[in-house]
Amino acid sequence: MVDALGDAPNLAGRMFIGFPILQTATGRQAADALWLSEERGIVVFDLVEGGDLGNYQDRQDDVANAIDGRLRLDRRLVDRRELRIPIRTLSFAPQCTATGEDDYLVTDSASLTAKLANLAEWENAQPNVFKAALSAIENVSTIRRATSARTPTAGRGAIVKQLEDAIATLDPWQSRAVIETIDGVQRIRGLAGSGKTIVLALKAAYLHTLHPEWRIAITFYTRSLKDTFERLVRDFHIRYAGEEPDWSCLEVVNAWGTPRGDGIYSEFCRQNRLEYLDFRAAERVFGTEPFAGACETALEAVTDPERIYDAILVDEAQDLPPSFLRLCYSFLRNPRRLVYAYDELQRLSGEFMPSPDQLFGNKENGQPRVRLTDRQDVVLGTCYRNSRPILVTAHAIGFGIYRQRPKARSSLSQTNLVQMFDHASLWRDVGYSVKEGDLVDGKVVALQRGSSASPVFLEKHSPIEDLVQFHVFDNDEEQARWIVAEIEHNLRRDGLRHEDIVVINPDPKSTRRKVGSIRSGLLKRGINCHLAGVDTSRDTFFITDQASVTLTGVYRAKGNEAAMVYIVNAEAGVAGTYNVASVRNRLFTAITRSKAWVRIVGIGPAMEELRREYEQLVKNDFELRFRYPTKHERAEIRTIHRDLSPQEKEKRRRRDTDLKALIGDLKRGDVKIDDIDPNVREQLLNILSGAS
């Protein structure tokens, strides 16, 4: 049918194939196809194979009544008792020449385009009704909105409602990712905020609705995503099937799991009677890559693993080792339906996800096990969470675009960067375009984001100086008092809810201690709050059954979002001596949790330095201007800013301590220059001279 339509430039609108799922007189089924047009309303197709039309009138009545019932649940689409958008039906029978009746149209391939073009136009068509109908068909509006309806007419609460309403539909790429069922591997790529989590949840519920007998798993890296996925899947399935999902067939589980088998890895071990390794045991054996080692060991231990799943959907694949994806692949029945989604930025490490060839290897004949067609490789190119100023701020801070160069460093005298993509083209893939210069090694370039990648409505609701703010304080007490006062104002005057606010500490190890004064300050003012994963289960991020502000470390914040995000102790992004790239990555992750406003606050001169980076970005009109480092420089950047193991940190700490002691001895005269071995002294002078 799609081929029969061709380009059909006069037939604009949205076409769905095998969607939506409808409750008809004959049971639950997917619509063969549906076209939604701003000029002609809704056309539902009945696809006929062969030359026998059968009871096509009954089939057309069934799908029309099912769509009518679906739309009438949305009050925006009903005027008194009349539906505000027309519904037509049409049987498409390529091997039949029948023309049908006035109310029961039939067409073949040759006359399809003309038949659609001749349909009466939609009288009193309105863009807002079209958008409401699209939202009702996709069933996204009730899922993307807050847990209960918002009613504010002013303030930040009203802005959040506007934003939720504005993204209450899927874009064509998101729809494609949800609806297309691939017999094999499918990957979904996109930035934070491009809708990967919602797409996976909708896809899982869609597959479960069509194939309730399948065993399906959704899995992820961040434990706090469990509640989010369960809510999304439940809401979608109830709307389409009228009942709770069968959670024995549709599982929402962590990647690792516990010995009980409530994770993909742990269930793999249980099914194949293998030794299960928890984090501590795996860390003792495999060091800094415990999960990768545990998965690889499990795969090597069994030659013919049990296959118990019909589909596995993986979120946050960039945070999971390749061996885990191979384990998922081996756990699937044929045709091995594996869907994995990941962030194009790959934790800002500058490295691509391994290609399917690298991930899944070759068959015995040397051919790749997995080759992706265009239908199997979906790119979500638009960011619907972060406004342009917020997202570009996150990139500028994450890469150190406007970072001031330290006084002493190695031969990297021409770059301030803490990390950079090895492949310059990835900047275009994540939505940037070149405004000036050249996006090549060794050249200066200016990058900007356009409205197609960052919709304008995400930033027009507030002045830029309100969207992003940096604040510097002298001590922890000042920082805590300011945040508590701001949150109180948000709740009592701005119209925000408790679940609209998240406080993030970038260093996960110090979160309980660092947010303690904020927590006590909120409680003294009668504001409920909780520390995610401490006051709640490890799988809970927001407390949905009571009003409570979430305080969290950055890792638990991944995969979640809030209208107002406060990032505390952000000075660590500058002050840290070790693992600078990782610390900047954590700031990037924290900033991109915000879907409206972000407050980045910290203490002392280091925070002042971070604020200067932001001020330079504002001065450059939120463009990223920098000299693209050469291959040699990128290698040095990775070496200098690489993550250090605990042993390496201790070794460097002892070395620094010894050097400081030597300098002190030299200053006091306890050690003379001549006391140092001449060869050592000459080597040291040469090294220091080359670094200056």
pLDDT at residue 692, rounded to an integer: 42
pLDDT at residue 130, rounded to an integer: 93
pLDDT at residue 581, rounded to an integer: 84
Give the helix ranges, DSSP H, for 542-630. 554-557, 572-575, 580-591, 604-619
pLDDT reading at 7 higher than 80: no
Side chain identity, residue 272 = N
First to last CA, the chain: 69
User: For 523, what's the count of Cα atoms within 13 Å in the CB-facing half-sphere?
Assistant: 11
H or E segment at 120?
Answer: none
Number of neighbouring beta carbons within 10 Å of residue 507:
16
pLDDT cut 70: percent of the chain above it: 90
Strand extents, DSSP E, 427-487: 432-437, 444-449, 468-473
Residues near 501 by Cβ (< 8 Å), separated by ≥ 6? 487, 490, 491, 549, 550, 562, 563, 564, 565, 566
pLDDT reading at 648 higher than 80: no
C-alpha R_g of the chain: 28
Confidence band for 179, pLDDT divided at 50, 70 and 90: confident
pLDDT at residue 643, rounded to an integer: 55
> Using an 8 Å Cβ cutoff, are 34 and 19 in contact?
yes
Question: What gap in Å lies between CA 45 and CA 38, rounded to an integer?
Answer: 17
Residues of the chain with CATH 3.40.50.300: 172-380, 388-637
- Our separate counts of H helices and E strands in the chain read 28, 24
Please give the CATH number for the structural domain made up of 388-637.
3.40.50.300
Residue-wise burial string across 572-587, b where 16 or more C-beta atoms lie within 10 A, e elsewhere: bbbbbeebbbbbbbbb
Residue identified by tokens 């979906």 is: 378
Residues near 77 by Cβ (< 8 Å), separated by ≥ 6? 71, 83, 84, 85, 129, 132, 133, 136
Number of neighbouring beta carbons within 10 Å of residue 368:
15
pLDDT cut 90: percent of the chain above it: 56
Show the tokens assigned to 289: 């890559």
CA 576, 577, 580, 582: dihedral to nearest 10 degrees?
-70
Per DSSP, the three-state class of 1 is coil
Q: In this predicted model, which residue has the larger pLDDT, 219 or 423?
A: 219
pLDDT at residue 51, rounded to an integer: 83
Task: Tell me what the pLDDT averaged over the chain comes to.
Answer: 88
Strand extents, DSSP E, 289-385: 309-314, 332-343, 377-380
Q: In this predicted model, which residue has the larger pLDDT, 233 or 148?
A: 233
Mean pLDDT of 504-531: 94
Per DSSP, the three-state class of 590 is helix
Show the tokens assigned to 504: 């993030």
Residues of the chain with CATH 3.40.1350: 2-126
Confidence band for 230, pLDDT divided at 50, 70 and 90: very high
> Using an 8 Å Cβ cutoff, are 316 and 342 in contact?
yes
Question: What gap in Å lies between CA 217 and CA 230, rounded to an integer?
Answer: 11
pLDDT reading at 408 higher than 50: no
pLDDT at residue 351, rounded to an integer: 57
Mean pLDDT of 528-544: 88
Show the tokens assigned to 65: 């009544």
Report which of 222, 184, 137, 175 is spatially closest to residue 554, judged by C-alpha positions. 222
DSSP state of 348: G
Report which of 245, 225, 213 is spatially closest to residue 314, judged by C-alpha positions. 225
Parallel, antiparallel or unpaired: strands 562-567 and 501-505: parallel
Residue-wise burial string across 58-94, b where 16 or more C-beta atoms lie within 10 A, e elsewhere: ebbbbbbebbeebbeebeebeeeeebbbbbbbbbbbb
Residue-wise burial string across 639-660, b where 16 or more C-beta atoms lie within 10 A, e elsewhere: eebeebeeeeeeeeeeeeeeee
pLDDT reading at 537 higher than 70: yes
Number of neighbouring beta carbons within 10 Å of residue 335:
12
pLDDT reading at 691 higher than 80: no
Q: In this predicted model, which residue has the larger pLDDT, 241 or 297?
A: 297
Report which of 90, 169, 175, 81 is spatially closest to residue 133, judged by C-alpha positions. 169
pLDDT at residue 1, rounded to an integer: 61
Concatenate the DSSP letters of all residues of 511-564 into one string: HHHHTHHHHHHHHHTT--EEETTTTS-TT-SS-TTS--EEEEEHHHHTT--EEE
Q: What is the pLDDT of residues 346-399, one digit of tens each?
A: 665 555 678 899 999 998 898 999 999 888 998 888 899 999 999 999 999 999
- Ranking 148-152, 231-235, 415-419, 656-660 by mean pLDDT, the lowest is 148-152
pLDDT at residue 689, rounded to an integer: 67
pLDDT at residue 637, rounded to an integer: 84
Q: What is the pLDDT of residues 300-349, one digit of tens each?
A: 999 999 999 999 999 999 989 999 999 999 999 999 999 999 986 766 55
- Sheet of 216-220: strand order equals 250-254, 216-220, 309-314, 332-343, 185-190, 377-380
Residues near 187 by Cβ (< 8 Å), separated by ≥ 6? 317, 339, 340, 341, 342, 356, 372, 376, 377, 378
H or E segment at 188?
Answer: strand 185-190
Q: What is the pLDDT of residues 587-643, one digit of tens each?
A: 999 999 999 999 999 999 999 999 999 999 999 999 999 999 999 999 888 776 655
Q: What is the pLDDT of residues 81-118, one digit of tens each?
A: 999 999 999 999 998 877 778 789 999 988 898 889 88
Report which of 350, 368, 219 is spatially closest to residue 295, judged by C-alpha positions. 219
Residues near 436 by Cβ (< 8 Å), separated by ≥ 6? 445, 446
Side chain identity, residue 599 = R
H or E segment at 443?
Answer: none
Beta-ladder partners of 380? 190
CATH of 2-126, one of 2.60.120, 3.30.160, 3.40.1350, 3.10.20: 3.40.1350
Mean pLDDT of 114-140: 88
Beta-ladder partners of 530? 550
Top mean-pLDDT range of 54-58, 304-308, 658-662: 304-308
Please give the CATH number for the structural domain made up of 172-380.
3.40.50.300
